[in-house]
Amino acid sequence: MDIRGLRAPQDVSQIPTSWYNIVPDLPEQLPPMLKPNGEEVRPEDLEPIFAKELIRQEFSREEYIGIPSKLRETYARLGRPTPLIRARRLEELLDTPARIYYKYEGVMPTGSHKINTAAAQAYYNALEGVKRLTTETGAGQWGSALALGGALYGLKVRVYMVRVSYEQKPYRKVMMQVYGAEVIPSPSELTQSGRAVLREDPDSPGSLGIAISEAVEDAATHEDTKYSLGSVLNHVLLHQTVIGQEAMKQMKELGDYPDVVIGAVGGGSNFAGLTYPFIREVLRGRESTEFIAVEPTAAPTMTRGEIRYDHGDSAGLTPLIYMYTLGHKFVPPPIHAGGLRYHGLAPTLTILVKHGIVKAVAYPQTEVFKAATYFARAEGIIPAPESAHAVKAAIDTALRAKEEGRSTTILFNLSGHGLLDLKGYDDYLAGKLVDAEPG
Ligand SMILES: *Cc1c(COP(=O)(O)O)cnc(C)c1O
């Protein structure tokens, strides 16, 4: 049931008026970011690379931060509120007493939730007179979202795209170019860090770590340019909380409330976006909802990583962040869910997992693609390989409810569609997928 269909689209009054900041509600104080010498990072340290308002939000301890009305209009025009759909045919096929709902972010123009923060970041940068944004992208989901953000607010965007992806996944590159972004295969000759890598290895396939170094250096060395990040940081997770606030309202309108809320986790932004408004109710003792964070066994940050300070990038250029990490040198096996191959985790989510408020599970990709294919045949939507991890956990939860003969309301985030990720499905259907785990 698409409840957005019950009213006129592009209705700004249906867009939340503020983002929810979980930081003041956490069960322990959020440890600060540190410089390599152990000193705390101060807001002004980040000014060469981020817009001032985004830095303010990053350090904010306010519970709610207002969404500017221009940005609420943009959210409405892009298709928010996104639909909350009851997966009735999936329920029937599973023969489960569970009610299964999903929040579908794949209707956003770039195909995932990432535009929710890309639009906000472009908006604030444009407001502060920034002319150009740089970022990195692996598979291209984040790069295409920021490219659209730049197009909407009149900013130039340069995306450093990991060279192997640039060569092997041309469609995301084309998408970014259609939106007017400049896409540079990384490592490149345009930065010192890129040139240093190319001197050592002229055929370097690149990595997300190298691309981050290039994008940060580009922003730091150009007066009119700032850098944008698509996950992990507080302000990025904050922007995604429109998802959960909408879902809470939509569930209430349907007369239901979830017992279990599920999301896939790379850096944690779509998971936080859906769950944090519901977690708030648990932290205040008003609800006893269960939360399941799903990751791949190939990059088991929460289930096998450790909690400590670590760098956000593999080159070690970013500040030290207190988080679950597999180590910033960790190179995950090349699974199809490219957006879940990150070594670290958002600090706020780290604390919630540490305190047992969020439970973490890991699945191998063959099981994930099997669940996603089952879901596609039931509901029609082909999930992004990342989102498919949440699908798998939702199906398992529904089957457990059936075994236990208990009715449960499940809500999961279908963070994106997989129409530009069909290679993964092709490999799955051909029996060519392999499950790799770190040793
Ligand atoms: C990038 C991405 C993810 C993983 O990133 P998070 O910050 O953990 O949300 C998940 N799903 C989709 C569709 C993505 O594009």
Q: Whose CA is nearest to atom 10 of ligand 1?
A: 386
For ligand 1, the distance from its centroid to the CA atom of residue 404, given in whole angstroms, is 32
Same domain, 253 and 380: yes
**Strands 409-414 and 306-311, bridge-based pairing:** unpaired
Q: Whose CA is nearest to atom 2 of ligand 1?
A: 339
Residue 89 lies in a domain: yes
Atom of ligand 1 nearest to the CA of 272: 9
**Domain CATH for 29:** 3.40.50.1100
Atom of ligand 1 nearest to the CA of 416: 13
Of 234, 252, 278, which residue sits at a domain end?
234
pLDDT of residue 318: 86
Residue 73 lies in a domain: no
Number of domains in the chain: 2
Of 187, 205, 234, which residue sits at a domain end?
234
Atom of ligand 1 nearest to the CA of 415: 13
At 161, is the secondary structure helix, strand, or coil?
Answer: strand
Same domain, 253 and 390: yes
Atom of ligand 1 nearest to the CA of 417: 13
Q: Whose CA is nearest to atom 5 of ligand 1?
A: 266
Q: Whose CA is closest to 407, among 215, 217, 197, 260?
A: 260
Distance (Å) of CA 238 to CA 262, 313, 352, 366: 18, 21, 15, 32
Query: Which domain, by its residues, includes 334?
Result: 81-111+235-429
Same domain, 221 and 258: no
Residue 216 lies in a domain: yes
Q: What does DSSP assign to residue 309?
A: E
Show the CA angle centred on residue 339, arms to residues 59 and 132, nearest 5°.
Answer: 55
Q: How far apart are CA 151 and CA 425, in angstroms?
A: 31
For ligand 1, the distance from its centroid to the CA atom of residue 414, given in whole angstroms, is 10
Q: 312 is written with which tokens?
A: 């956000």
The pTM assigned to this predicted structure is 0.96
Residue 326 lies in a domain: yes
Same domain, 291 and 379: yes
Q: Whose CA is closest to 143, among 124, 160, 128, 129?
A: 160
For ligand 1, the distance from its centroid to the CA atom of residue 425, given in whole angstroms, is 18
For ligand 1, the distance from its centroid to the CA atom of residue 268, given in whole angstroms, is 8
Among positive and negative, which fits the CA dihedral 47, 51, 56, 59? Answer: negative
For ligand 1, the distance from its centroid to the CA atom of residue 200, given in whole angstroms, is 32
pLDDT of residue 1: 47
pLDDT tens digits for the chain (439 residues)?
A: 455 555 555 789 999 999 999 999 999 999 999 998 999 999 999 999 999 999 999 999 999 999 999 999 999 999 999 999 999 999 999 999 999 999 999 999 999 999 999 999 999 999 999 999 999 998 899 999 999 999 999 999 999 999 988 988 889 999 999 999 999 999 999 999 999 999 999 998 888 888 988 999 999 999 999 999 999 999 999 999 999 999 999 999 999 999 999 999 999 999 999 999 999 999 999 999 999 999 999 999 999 999 999 998 877 878 999 999 999 888 777 778 878 888 999 999 999 999 999 999 999 999 999 999 999 999 999 999 999 999 999 999 999 999 999 999 999 999 999 999 999 999 999 999 988 888 7
Residue 75 lies in a domain: no
Same domain, 132 and 41: yes
Residue 424 lies in a domain: yes
For ligand 1, the distance from its centroid to the CA atom of residue 132, given in whole angstroms, is 24
Q: What does DSSP assign to residue 355?
A: T
Same domain, 148 and 290: no
Q: How far apart are CA 437 and CA 439, in angstroms?
A: 6
**CB contact at 8 A, 413 and 386:** no
Residue 138 lies in a domain: yes
Residue 15 lies in a domain: no
Same domain, 150 and 283: no
Same domain, 291 and 226: no
Same domain, 134 and 265: no
Amino acid, res. 273: G
Of 234, 260, 292, which residue sits at a domain end?
234
- Find the residues whose C-beta lies inside 6 A of ligand 1: 112, 114, 141, 231, 264-271, 339-340, 384, 386-387, 415-416
Same domain, 88 and 139: no
Q: How far apart are CA 219 and CA 158, in angstroms?
A: 10
Same domain, 207 and 295: no
Q: 377 is written with which tokens?
A: 């045949």
Same domain, 145 and 189: yes
Q: Please tell me the number of Cα atoms within 13 Å of 217 on its side-chain side.
A: 21
Atom of ligand 1 nearest to the CA of 268: 8
